[in-house]
Chains A and B, each alone.
Chain A
Amino acid sequence: MSTTLTSKHRSTLRGGHLPKWSPLAIIAGSVAAGLGISAAAGLHSSIQWALIAAVVFVVATYGIAAKVEGRRQAKDRIATSLIWVAFLLAVIPLASLVWETVKRGVKVFDVYFLTHSMGVVADTEPGGGIYHAIIGTLEQVGLASLIAVPIGVLTAIYLVEYGKGKLAKAITFFVDVMTGIPSIVAGLFILSFWILILDMGYSGFAGSLALSILMMPVVVRSTEEMLKLVPNELREASLALGVPKWRTILKVVLPTSIGGITTGVMLAVARITGETAPMLLLVWGTNFINNNPFEGPQASLPLYIYQQYANSSGANAAYDRAWAAALALIAFVMILNLVARGIARWKAPSQH
């Protein structure tokens, strides 16, 4: 009875619905429209037809949805499609960059390339590898982390657990300023201080000093955020057991946030691994293996890429090596990211 009654009226709860496949259909239609308009107008760039397709897609989605489903649902759909367009705009450059690097990098990327230096190979000839640059990058980044991570983590602990008043505000301000220091400025600072004033000579360690300046604010910031996420109740629970504050921080606060802190440190490492400018000023670069980061010029991956490009006067062999080294650098950073994620998941406080 009641069903017959309601069916005569228009339901206020149920309206028209577009079928599930309709976004796909609209995408197909708008891509076709984009291609068609481009062909008709004689446009050749793929960026142009993609942009036309994107605009057609957004407009068509709104029009069709407004007709069938109503204006509120149409606005909902347009927001969704704008987010998808933004997502694609962000992903396309990234994907094409990775694709280009892999495509050009794999030509000479093999075990020989990873295990040999450029010691006996002229820059314009084929052969040689990046072993010396890998050694240099690992040592420089490792030393920079050894300097920056303890200082950064301890600073963050001070700011979150102890810092009050003017000193903490000043430190926060300077950490913010440090975040914005261009890498070349950090390099020039170490150049004038370490090499020109203290007269220490070019070395991997000089590069590490500059890298640690760049790394410190990132570590401070991310560690600070992670420590703030630790609920105050846990600190109070520990203090109420008669545990001193420093042990509370060491045994309760840090273990709770260690996953996030590790992720932050790994991301900071990834950020400094690609720095070129300070290396150019401080590490100098070499074609030979130098295992000692404290004396004499070293190579590093970003520096190697730059020098292969700059010193080769256009030789294809050098370009191939530069791309392969770029691939190695991206792979290194990606592995670090995966390790960071793994550690974060492994260390995250579990529920069961």
Chain B
Amino acid sequence: MAKRIDVSGLSAYYGSHKAIDDISMTIEPRTVTAFIGPSGCGKSTFLRTLNRMHEVTPGGRVEGKVLLDDEDLYGAGVDPVSVRREVGMVFQRPNPFPTMSIFDNVAAGLRLNGNYRKNELNDIVEKSLKGANLWNEVKDRLNKPGSGLSGGQQQRLCIARAIAVEPKVLLMDEPCSALDPISTLAIEDLIGELKERFTIVIVTHNMQQAARVSDRTAFFNLAAVGQPGKLIEIDDTERIFSNPSVQATEDYISGRFG
């Protein structure tokens, strides 16, 4: 079910500004890959190119290839909408739909896409909420608005919403940066469980988090402000945090700069 991502020579632009330059990497199915690096180095931009959310931003465009199990996401005739059904996304700030109940939020992807059978819907919602470790907390108030939940619960609701449409890959853009340590722990445990079923890519500013949850870690950096961000290295997380091959990675991880 999970799919491999194969990126080659990918550059992304905002209008004439080049945000990331010539990135190539392979992300194996059923692994967690963490992106780390200083602010503005293009981690989030790169993440958003993986499900064509980058081009939602006015002026956003991409050069290069992203293969999802041999199929180029940027190939001719590829519909970004179908790409996003394969590659789901969880955002930095929890963003449940305010007009919908908890149940409707989880069902939103299926309902809005129109491809579901009515009798399946209850099962899918229950399965997704259980998958997001939220079922026990909300099973008695599925008809209440999702915005009434705590921040951590809202973020797990968003994860449930994302996995309800059964994507092959799950992208997470700093999913814990707005959460307290306990909610963060809950999400990190969840990531460990989800990687059995999905390919997961997570952007994080928290290096301990990257070390805890990921199998592979990619370090991004930029030469100077205004310069495009670059992939410095990608390797097994253990190696990156113990014995990275590039000096800049070690400097960043150990807190030494310049």
Cross-chain contact B51 with A240 (CB below 8 angstroms): yes
Bound CA span A349–B98, Å? 5
Task: From B91, B95, B144, B147, give the contact of A349 (CB < 8 A).
Answer: B147
Cross-chain contact B99 with A352 (CB below 8 angstroms): no
Cross-chain contact A349 with B113 (CB below 8 angstroms): no
Given contacts A240-B84, A352-B145, contact A256 B56 (CB under 8 A): no
Bound CA span A256–B145, Å? 13
A150 within 8 A of B: no
Bound CA span A231–B95, Å? 9
B residues less than 8 Å from A235 (CB atoms): 56
B145 CB to nearest chain A CB (Å): 6
A218 CB to nearest chain B CB (Å): 25
Cross-chain contact B145 with A239 (CB below 8 angstroms): no
Bound CA span A240–B55, Å? 12
Bitwise, B3-38 to A at CB < 8 A (1) or not (0) is: 000000000000000000000000000000000000
Cross-chain contact B147 with A241 (CB below 8 angstroms): no
Give the total of B residues in contact with A, Cβ under 8 Å: 31
Cross-chain contact A352 with B148 (CB below 8 angstroms): yes
Cross-chain contact B112 with A247 (CB below 8 angstroms): yes
Bound CA span A243–B79, Å? 11
A251 CB to nearest chain B CB (Å): 5
Cross-chain contact A239 with B91 (CB below 8 angstroms): no
Interface centre among A237, A239, A350 (most CB of B within 10 A): A237
Bin the interface of chain A by size.
20 to 34
B→A interface (CB under 8 Å): 51, 53, 56, 58, 81-86, 88-89, 91, 93, 95, 97-99, 108-109, 111-113, 144-145, 147-148, 158, 161-162, 165
Interface centre among A234, A240, A252 (most CB of B within 10 A): A240
Bound CA span A236–B91, Å? 9
Task: From A231, A233, A243, A244, give the contact of B109 (CB < 8 A).
Answer: A243
Bound CA span A242–B81, Å? 5
Task: From A164, A244, A252, give the contact of B81 (CB < 8 A).
Answer: A244
Cross-chain contact A351 with B91 (CB below 8 angstroms): no
A residues less than 8 Å from B99 (CB atoms): 252, 255-256, 349
Bound CA span A237–B89, Å? 8
Cross-chain contact A242 with B147 (CB below 8 angstroms): no
Bound CA span A350–B98, Å? 7
Cross-chain contact B145 with A240 (CB below 8 angstroms): no
Chain A residue with the shortest CB-CB distance to B90: A240
Residue pairs across A and B with Cβ atoms less than 8 A apart, 20 shown, are A231-B95, A237-B158, A238-B97, A239-B53, A240-B89, A241-B85, A241-B108, A241-B109, A242-B82, A242-B85, A242-B88, A243-B112, A248-B112, A252-B99, A256-B98, A349-B99, A349-B145, A350-B148, A352-B145, A352-B148
- Extra contacts, 7 of them, besides A236-B56, A242-B86, A352-B144 (Cβ < 8 A), are A235-B56, A238-B108, A239-B84, A241-B88, A243-B109, A251-B108, A349-B99
A residues less than 8 Å from B113 (CB atoms): 241-243, 247
Bound CA span A260–B108, Å? 23
Cross-chain contact B112 with A251 (CB below 8 angstroms): yes
Cross-chain contact A238 with B89 (CB below 8 angstroms): no
Chain A residue with the shortest CB-CB distance to B146: A349
Cross-chain contact A164 with B53 (CB below 8 angstroms): no
B88 CB to nearest chain A CB (Å): 6
B residues less than 8 Å from A349 (CB atoms): 98-99, 145, 147
B residues less than 8 Å from A248 (CB atoms): 112
A residues less than 8 Å from B108 (CB atoms): 238, 241, 243, 251-252
Chain B residue with the shortest CB-CB distance to A230: B98
A residues less than 8 Å from B93 (CB atoms): 233
A residues less than 8 Å from B91 (CB atoms): 233, 236-237, 240
Given contacts A237-B158, A240-B89, A242-B81, contact A252 B97 (CB under 8 A): yes
A residues less than 8 Å from B51 (CB atoms): 240
A residues less than 8 Å from B58 (CB atoms): 164
A238 CB to nearest chain B CB (Å): 7
Task: From A241, A244, A255, A256, give the contact of B161 (CB < 8 A).
Answer: A241
Cross-chain contact B97 with A237 (CB below 8 angstroms): yes
Bound CA span A231–B98, Å? 10
Bound CA span A255–B56, Å? 21
A22 CB to nearest chain B CB (Å): 44
B residues less than 8 Å from A234 (CB atoms): 95, 97-98
Chain B residue with the shortest CB-CB distance to A350: B145
Given contacts A242-B113, A243-B113, contact A237 B95 (CB under 8 A): yes
Cross-chain contact B112 with A241 (CB below 8 angstroms): yes
B residues less than 8 Å from A252 (CB atoms): 97, 99, 108, 112
Cross-chain contact A256 with B97 (CB below 8 angstroms): yes
Bound CA span A72–B199, Å? 62
Bound CA span A234–B97, Å? 6
Bound CA span A252–B89, Å? 17
B residues less than 8 Å from A351 (CB atoms): 145, 147-148
Cross-chain contact A241 with B148 (CB below 8 angstroms): no
Bound CA span A352–B146, Å? 8
